[in-house]
A and B are shown apart, each in its own frame.
Chain A
């Protein structure tokens, strides 16, 4: 982010951003509860998707374990609040930390793997976490799941209704968007882009490749854990089947579908795909077929992401991961 830029495009973008924010803030007052409810899920999903976007778009490591780490965050806060009686907000930090810790322990040996081999390893991580959640009955409740997770409370205010949670989730999504922009504009972001483009060249120019990859993976796990925290306290009942390979695939798709290396693209795709099962509802039982076709045709015809339809950005997209033209060479 360049806050002091005087150029017209930056100013235009800022007005667009504020305008969109205004619309989003006003939306729950006008729209029916059902739509607000879907909006909450869109914002919650934004977190793991952004985390994954940092990892896949910028570090070049595509992970299919994000759904499990999301689940780890959800289970951590759910267990702390229901079994130990912690207040909901106190579960946030442990949720993030446990997701990061587990992600690092399981994922660190995999990080030296490149390309598809890394994807394969993350499938293993995803399935192992899911199988443990499912079968470790005494701790996780097994296939019973965890019921009556308390709502988030700020002093006397209980964030329970979809409208109230909408603002919490919007705040979290906005916060994670701004935070990740800061991260990506930092030296770490530069290092990640360097190692994604050419790991050998990055190493040769004094980028600590291993450290950068571990940090990127930890960040993506942290975002997943935070998302899981929100999810657990919104739906208030969690079950291992919510954290199978399917959400992992969904998160990956969302982070790719809008155009990799574009946070805005990821947010856009999250909105489109998370609500897809709703606006495809008129298709009836053909709904999931429509959804699969959306993914398939989207990838066939817009491999650089659907945002490439509307915005032309140099060097966005996995097809040609060239550095963006307006990026400074040295910081």
Chain B
């Protein structure tokens, strides 16, 4: 029983963590929260669904194709939309909420009912101790680890990643030393779209998919990011897994009705005690 809960919790937590990474990437760079993040995750699922059912993409190429497409869409939307919004956080909040409504209802036009997602990762049952689960759970956890490793490599060892980190640290100074700031911001949006869309494909085979699946996952991922530290990538991962675990434990041992309360209670608690999160750090503000 416990193992079953732990496996489910960690897998859900990984999804929160990966979607939460999208929040973290954008927040670190712009100090803004993209409220369309959950809907991007949902749109990623449906893009995956389209590719998997119509062209029978196998698992790995499906993930790569969705990530690349989402990255491109992120770049384009940055150029067309986000650039006009991120000068002010209230404008950005309302604007991205509008974008989320557009995305959600556009998908709703084509898929008004929940639909099953093809089992792209196979249907084998894995047995671990006393727990039995679908092989998809293994994929979720393994790919989360891989994704984090890739992001780390990107930020630590590549020019593009270093440019993005420089812009996150101080856009003005980064600009003066030759970093193309708007381009780095665009790439940040691209990455945040890509990770959310990959998370969408990963969760697809576990449940039915529907146009409103992004609402709750988006909010929970956001809680996870705040819990772990919204400006810290390791923090967001830790926050996501922790939240997934606590939620699964609460559902299993306390009450499944109040399961959703866990995330938001933790969010409030964390903001009251330590607004920067478990592993986040405070940027000193000079007067």
Contacts and interface: CB of A to CB of B under 8 A. Distances in A.
A291 interface: yes
Interface in A281-324: 285-286, 288-289, 291-301, 303, 318-319
A299 B93 CA distance: 9
A295 B230 CA distance: 26
Given A128-B261, A289-B106, A319-B91, A120 B226 contact: yes
Contact of B97 (A56, A109, A253): A253
B271 A292 contact: no
Interface in B25-44: 27, 31-33
Interface string B260-284: 1101110110011001000000000
Contact of A131 (B33, B261, B267, B275): B261
A260 interface: yes
Contact of B89 (A116, A135, A260): A116
A252 B94 contact: yes
Nearest to B108: A288
Interface in B80-121: 81, 84-85, 87-95, 97-106, 108-109
Given A131-B261, A319-B88, A295 B267 contact: no
Nearest to A135: B257
B258 interface: yes
A303 B81 CA distance: 13
- Interface majority SS on A: helix, strand, loop or mixed? helix
- Interface majority SS on B: helix, strand, loop or mixed? helix
Nearest to A60: B90
A120 B271 contact: yes
B250 to A, nearest CB: 12
Given A124-B268, A127-B260, A119 B93 contact: yes
B219 interface: yes
A194 B219 CA distance: 33
B127 interface: no
Contact of B219 (A113, A127, A292, A295): A127
B222 interface: yes
Contacts of A300: 81, 84-85, 95
B97 A135 contact: no
Given A113-B275, A128-B265, A131-B264, A301 B84 contact: yes
A95 interface: no
A135 B106 contact: no
Contact of A318 (B91, B104, B223, B271): B91
Contacts of A121: 267-268, 271-272
Interface residues of A, number: 46
A245 B92 CA distance: 17
A50 interface: no
B287 interface: yes
A120 B92 CA distance: 14
Contacts of A120: 33, 222, 226, 230, 267, 271
Nearest to B31: A116
Given A56-B90, A62-B93, A319-B91, A299 B267 contact: no
Contacts of B94: 252-253, 256-257, 295, 299
Interface in A255-290: 256-257, 260, 285-286, 288-289
A125 interface: yes
A123 interface: yes
A123 B268 CA distance: 9
Contact of B271 (A117, A249, A291): A117
Contacts of A97: none
A249 B19 CA distance: 21
Interface centre among A113, A119, A299 (most CB of B within 10 A): A299
Nearest to B83: A300
B271 A110 contact: yes
B222 to A, nearest CB: 7
Given A120-B33, A131-B264, A289 B105 contact: yes
The 4 closest A-B pairs by CB, nearest first: A295-B98, A292-B101, A296-B98, A292-B102
18 contacts: A56-B90, A110-B271, A119-B93, A121-B268, A125-B268, A127-B261, A127-B263, A128-B265, A131-B261, A253-B94, A256-B94, A260-B90, A289-B102, A289-B109, A298-B98, A299-B85, A303-B91, A318-B91
Given A123-B219, A128-B268, A286-B109, 14 more contacts: A62-B89, A120-B230, A121-B268, A124-B267, A124-B271, A131-B261, A256-B91, A257-B94, A289-B105, A291-B101, A296-B99, A299-B85, A299-B92, A299-B94
Interface of A: 56, 62, 106, 109-110, 113, 115-117, 119-121, 123-125, 127-128, 131-132, 135, 200, 245, 249, 252-253, 256-257, 260, 285-286, 288-289, 291-301, 303, 318-319
